[in-house]
Amino acid sequence: MKNNLGFTSLLIAFSGLLVFEVLIYMEILTHSGWHIVKAGFEAATIGGVADWFAVRALFHEIPIPFIRKHTNIIVKNREKMTEGIVDLVTNEWLSPEVISEKLNEVDIASAILEFLQNPESQQKSIGFIREIALKLTTELDHPEFVATLQKMLNSQITNLDLASPIGNYLEKAVNNGEHHKLWELLIEASEKSINNAETKELILSKLEEAIKEYGEQGFFKKTTMFLAQKTGGLNINSLTAELLFKTNEMLVEAKENPQHPIRIKFDDWIIEFAQNLVNGRENEVLILDNIKTKLIAYMETEQTVQNLVRKFKQTFASQLDTDDTPLMQFFKTNFNRIVLDLQNDKEAQRKINTWITESISALLTKFHSEIGNMVRSSMIKLNNEELVEQIEGKVGSDLQYIRLNGAVVGGMVGVLLATAKLLLQ
């Protein structure tokens, strides 16, 4: 009914004009007052037709000579209309100032936290984060990333001051007795090495080599060694066994006694080495520099970084595989904790709101023209028929009231003019 309102009003006006014109012409209605009524319907018809033409001319071409060029106004002026809409949207309705003002009125942080407290939303958020992490993980062992990481590590290791922290740690560890366990491990390893058959053969060969070299130093020394071996005064096997026994005995004593002279002597040397590191003594610092150089060379030749990254990638990807892995359980627990902490921290929420607002405002200022481009692009995609159909579909029904108003106002003006004319006669 609403869409036919204009047509109905025009039909009523024209029908009334036709009926009263016939009745007056046939002298069925002879009173002068009926001429006023007829004038009202006549003016209503004229007003209704005029407004029908005006509304019709907006959307369609009316094939009347000389007049047709001023019809189909929307299609003929679509470019101007498009730019007008773009200007209105970008500079008035959605200007950076308007959007920033509206953003300042919205508590974005509270809305986000409220959203994240919902179990279903929280699960979706964690799943989204996991998908991003998985995609990033697939690129971890990319040659370019590994090469960049290698350069970064090399630069950090080269420029890293290890002397002072290592020196301070060593001195502190020795003074606090934290190194005793290391001592015990070293002594145990030494015991196993000394009691090894290969070690015994090595000591035996070295003793034989020493005796031979000693005998070559002169006739009397050679003769003495010869007689000692022939008379049994010098038994290399027994000497080797005795050396190993005494060495084991010394190691056991050192292992059980933190105050053993050897351990004290070695502790003093470590403290002295540590203090020299802290003081930047050249010889000690050079030792660490050589270690760093060799470490960098080893990392490059053995592809250490690439292997580490590859293993990390595999481990990290497996931890992201399901929600039941330790990493995901840790993440979910801390995710909930962070949300609850933020929920009670109004200052943190204020900072989040400020950051979001400033970030969005900066992006809007930088890319604000894209809003107009989107509006312009959407309108350009429509052909003339689609453009007219969309606009007419949105406002066409309301435009029917223009036609109704034209008929009503025209009729009222017609009645007033006819009344005035009758009174003046």
On the question of pLDDT at 232 being above 70, the answer is no
* Position 415 pLDDT exceeds 80: no
At residue 260, what is the residue type? H
Q: Are 100 and 357 in contact (CB under 8 A)?
A: yes
Residues whose CB is less than 8 angstroms from the CB of residue 128 and which lie 6 or more positions away in sequence, other chains included: none
The pLDDT of 369-396, averaged and rounded, is 77
Q: Is the pLDDT of residue 311 over 80?
A: yes
Give mean pLDDT, residues 367-375. Answer: 80
User: 265 versus 217: which is more confidently predicted?
Assistant: 265
Q: What is the 3-state secondary structure (H, E, C) of the chain?
A: CCCCHHHHHHHHHHHHHHHHHHHHHCCCCCCCHHHHHHHHHHHHHHHHHHHHHHHHHHHCCCCCCCCHHHCCHHHHCHHHHHHHHHHHHHHHHCCHHHHHHHHHCCCHHHHHHHHHHCHHHHHHHHHHHHHHHHHHHCCCCCHHHHHHHHHHHHHHHHHCCCHHHHHHHHHHHHHCCCCHHHHHHHHHHHHHHHCCHHHHHHHHHHHHHHHHHHHCCCHHHHHHHHHHHHHCCCCHHHHHHHHHHHHHHHHHHHHHCCCCHHHHHHHHHHHHHHHHHHCCCHHHHHHHHHHHHHHHHHHHHCCHHHHHHHHHHHHHHHHCCCCCCHHHHHHHHHHHHHHHHHHHCHHHHHHHHHHHHHHHHHHHHHHCHHHHHHHHHHHHHCCHHHHHHHHHHHHHHHHHHHHHHHHHHHHHHHHHHHHHHHHHC
| Mean pLDDT within 206-217 | 72
Q: What angle do CA 213, 216, 219 make, to 5 degrees?
A: 145
Q: Which of 75, 73, 63, 11 is nearest to 41 (CA)?
A: 11
Considering only CA atoms, give the Rg of the chain. Answer: 50
Q: Residue 381 has what pLDDT? A: 80
* Higher per-residue pLDDT: 133 or 408: 133
**Is pLDDT above 50 for 8?**
yes
Share of the chain above pLDDT 90, in %: 0
Mean pLDDT score across all residues of the chain: 77
90-147 per-position pLDDT tens digit: 887 777 777 777 777 778 888 888 888 888 888 888 888 888 888 888 877 778 887 8
Q: What is the pLDDT of residue 410?
A: 72
Return the pLDDT at 3: 59
Lowest mean pLDDT among 7-16, 115-124, 384-393: 384-393
Query: Given a cut of 60, is residue 2 above it in pLDDT?
Result: no
Q: Are 423 and 59 in contact (CB under 8 A)?
A: no
Between 212 and 357, whose confidence is greater? 357
**Among residues 394, 390, 361, which one has the least CA distance to residue 378?**
390
CA distances from 251 to 240, 269, 327 (A): 16, 19, 45
- At residue 147, the pLDDT reads 80
Confidence band (pLDDT; 50, 70, 90) for 293? confident
Q: How confident is the model at residue 228 (pLDDT cuts 50, 70, 90)?
A: low
Q: Where are the domains of the chain?
A: 5-81+384-424, 108-136+322-367, 179-280
Specify the pLDDT at position 234: 67
Instruction: Report pLDDT digits (tens) over 178-187.
Output: 777 776 777 7
Amino acid, res. 214: Y
Residue-wise pLDDT tens digits, 20-57: 888 888 878 877 788 788 888 888 788 778 777 777 77
pLDDT at 221: 67
| Structure confidence at residue 1 (pLDDT) | 39
pLDDT of residue 370: 80
